Structure 1
Amino acid sequence: MFRREQVKTRMQLETGKSQHGLIGSFQSIIKEEGFGRLYRGLVPPLLLEAPKRATKFAANDFWGKTYLKLTGESKMTQQLSILTGCSAGATESFVVVPFELVKIKLQDKMSTYSGPMEVVRQVIRKEGVLGLYVGMEATFWRHFWWNGGYFGCIFQVRGLLPKAESAQARLMNDLIAGTVGGFVGTAINTPFDVVKSRIQGSTKQAGVVPKYNWTYPALVTIFREEGPAALYKGFVPKVLRLAPGGGVLLLVVEVTLNLFRQALGPPYL
């Protein structure tokens, strides 16, 4: 999984209309930098995984209940599920940014950092603590749109699937819904992920306005200079990770919640 993440980042940081495909990027990294480079930047995503997932579903639950109360609806609708997902993604983005920044800095081909802590020290020394939040706006939009697509699709797909008559059937429905949601969320948010990688991978120079600064203008710049396909650089390794990952994630969350419901009872969940 992590090797795909490294390849995705490299593909997104590569400017110009010509680019390596998934296999070509793998081969290029191994040939030029060695096999071990595929695992560079491993620590930040590992440290991030648990708090990110916990924040995602806790925020989705919070915003879902909040919007139901505000609108007076008795049950979730398609529109509310999308709004809830977008809000959960916005909340999640604040947790994600520093970890993503460190990962990008380590995975850049030109990176000379010895490890995660050196990235943190150097960024704080040069830019202050807020330097760890470079790319916050792009990360916000990346998670806003992914979670909106993910949770919105889960609601829609669950409604289209045959009603589950057993626990196994419900789990299968969750796996399918989560996988479709992961695919759709990735298809929607990849352009924003490309911009985020470009912003966080750039080096600030005194007196020079960054080429990639704000998300939507950067989308236009990449589209104009590199073509529409450039906005989907890294899509294949990204979707190979996040589509099945979205299914497994929903499955794990639902199994865990069911265990808690059995142990604590409905009033607590």
Structure 2
Amino acid sequence: ITHNTFTKLVLLLFVLFFFSLPAKLINGGIAGIVGVTCVFPIDLAKTRLQNQRPGQQVYKSMIDCLIKTVRSEGYFGMYRGAAVNLTLVTPEKAIKLAANDFFRCHLSKDGRGLTVFREMLAGCAAGMCQVIITTPMEMLKIQLQDAGRLAAQQRKPGIIPPNRLATTNAVLSRSYNVVPSTSPRVISATQIARELLHSQGIQGLYKGLGATLLRDVPFSIVYFPLFANLNKLGKPSPDAAAPFYWSFISGCVAGSTAAVVVNPCDVVKTRLQSLSKGANEESYNGIIDCFSKIMKREGPSAFLKGAGCRALVIAPLFGIVQVMYFLGVGEFIMSQSSLKLISD
């Protein structure tokens, strides 16, 4: 993505959502904060499982990962990187939902319903818009989440001798304490961002942008049409709104389905965005190189790593998002409309 294209996309987002954004920020913020708080430990397990290589496994499963994380890092170790999500999930969800509404409105003919193709097209456009926030958020979150895996890998006998631990960034390596140190340090997202901006510029925060697009665009293409059609099944009449509990169920089903479908892209994105590597953990030169190396060295099953975790993360998160959105909580708080619990 060029600098000019990036600038135009940012300006477009501001123009599109200026008037409707406050209510959507509230909806996205409430849903995001509640959802992230509930499911973030599962997301942490997903990242660590996806980054494991054959012969260097530290964790056997999601449950094993969470148990070992609590034992070695404490309860709050399961929430490493959560602050980044809690900060950026509000604008991310607001942009995603507002963009989908905007494109659905402009793709509809005379206010009539959209065809499945047009619904997919609107979802595609929404997915392209959200990566402005998603990419740096995921980039910073992954560094914090994966630090514990690297430290645990170092401590495990027979996997990585301390003097052979390799990383792609010396400053991040020292800060993560993934090398022997008498004074452990825990890096923050702010430190990572500052280091990346200093050494690589804004491109440093957007490492893995192509892989993020490859994941989020297909996700939105699957999610929004599937949700819309599932939600229609709960409407008592074509002109009425579905009950809030049906929107929650529809959001959960559509979200988990889309999450599993795009999980191979999420594995590639996670590998590309991981700056610190353990010994014998290869680096990748782009999406195609990453895909081919994973396929050759780990087999097709590697692309399903963390799929169950990701489904468990996405399902309640998007279920809650849709409940907040369709209840109009943000609009109610802004005194723009009444709160609707049941369809009219």
Task: Describe the superposition over 1:149-202 as per-residue Cα deviations: whole angstroms up to 9, x where unpaired.
Answer: 11021123234x254269895323322221111111101121111111111103
Aligned to 2:93: 53
Does residue 121 (structure 1) correspond to residue 175 (structure 2)? The answer is: no
Tell me how far 1:136 sits from its aligned partner: 0.7
Aligned to 1:96: 134
Tell me how far 1:216 sits from its aligned partner: 4.4
Matching residue within 232, 235, 242 for 2:307: 235
The Cα RMSD (Å) is: 2.8
| Counterparts in 2 of 1:84 and 1:217: CA distance versus 1, 3 Å | farther
Task: Describe the superposition over 1:39-73 as per-residue Cα deviations: whole angstroms up to 9, x where unpaired.
Answer: 2112100001110110001110122123336xx88
Aligned to 2:260: 187
Aligned to 1:212: 284
Aligned to 1:164: 236
Aligned to 1:140: 213
| Counterparts in 2 of 1:189 and 1:264: CA distance versus 1, 3 Å | same
Aligned to 2:22: none
Task: Describe the superposition over 1:76-103 as per-residue Cα deviations: whole angstroms up to 9, x where unpaired.
Answer: 1111111211210111011111121111
Contact 1:192/1:215 (CA < 8 Å) preserved in 2? Answer: no
Q: Distance in 1 between matches of 2:310 and 2:235?
A: 31
| Counterparts in 2 of 1:164 and 1:136: CA distance versus 1, 3 Å | same
Aligned length in residues? 257
Aligned to 1:207: none
Does residue 5 (structure 1) correspond to residue 26 (structure 2)? The answer is: no
Contact 1:60/1:84 (CA < 8 Å) preserved in 2? Answer: yes
Give the counterpart letter for 1:143 in structure 2: D
Q: Distance in 1 between matches of 2:197 and 2:234?
A: 53
Q: Distance in 2 between matches of 1:157 and 1:183?
A: 13
Q: Distance in 2 between matches of 1:200 and 1:225?
A: 19
Give the counterpart letter for 2:69 in structure 1: I
Deviates more, 1:96-105 or 1:252-261: 252-261
Aligned to 1:26: 66
Aligned to 2:295: 223
Q: Distance in 2 between matches of 1:77 and 1:235?
A: 30
Aligned to 1:248: 320
**Secondary structure, aligned partner of 2:103:** helix
Does residue 196 (structure 1) correspond to residue 196 (structure 2)? The answer is: no
TM-score (normalised: structure 1) = 0.84
Q: Distance in 2 between matches of 1:236 and 1:93?
A: 23
Structure with the higher fraction of residues in helix conformation: 1
Q: Which runs of 5+ in 1 are unaligned?
A: 205-209
| Counterparts in 2 of 1:227 and 1:253: CA distance versus 1, 3 Å | same
Give the counterpart letter for 2:243 in structure 1: R
Deviates more, 1:52-61 or 1:146-155: 146-155
Tell me how far 1:257 sits from its aligned partner: 7.1
Q: Distance in 1 between matches of 2:291 and 2:105?
A: 34
**Secondary structure, aligned partner of 1:76:** coil
| Counterparts in 2 of 1:77 and 1:195: CA distance versus 1, 3 Å | same
Give the counterpart letter for 1:129 in structure 2: I
Q: Distance in 2 between matches of 1:26 and 1:86?
A: 34
Q: Which has the larger radius of gyration?
A: 2
Q: Distance in 2 between matches of 1:215 and 1:152?
A: 27
Task: Describe the superposition over 1:11-63 as per-residue Cα deviations: whole angstroms up to 9, x where unpaired.
Answer: 11112276621111112323344433212112100001110110001110122
Q: Distance in 1 between matches of 2:324 and 2:316?
A: 12
Tell me how far 1:119 sits from its aligned partner: 0.5
**Secondary structure, aligned partner of 1:108:** helix
Q: Distance in 1 between matches of 2:248 and 2:141?
A: 29
Give the counterpart letter for 2:270 in structure 1: S
Identity %, equivalent residues: 30
| Counterparts in 2 of 1:126 and 1:145: CA distance versus 1, 3 Å | same
TM-score (normalised: structure 2) = 0.67
Deviates more, 1:97-106 or 1:221-230: 221-230
Q: Distance in 1 between matches of 2:106 and 2:250?
A: 24
Q: Distance in 1 between matches of 2:221 and 2:318?
A: 13
Contact 1:56/1:92 (CA < 8 Å) preserved in 2? Answer: yes
Aligned to 1:76: 114
Q: Which runs of 5+ in 2 are unaligned?
A: 1-38, 151-175, 178-185, 339-344
Contact 1:97/1:133 (CA < 8 Å) preserved in 2? Answer: yes
Contact 1:83/1:148 (CA < 8 Å) preserved in 2? Answer: yes
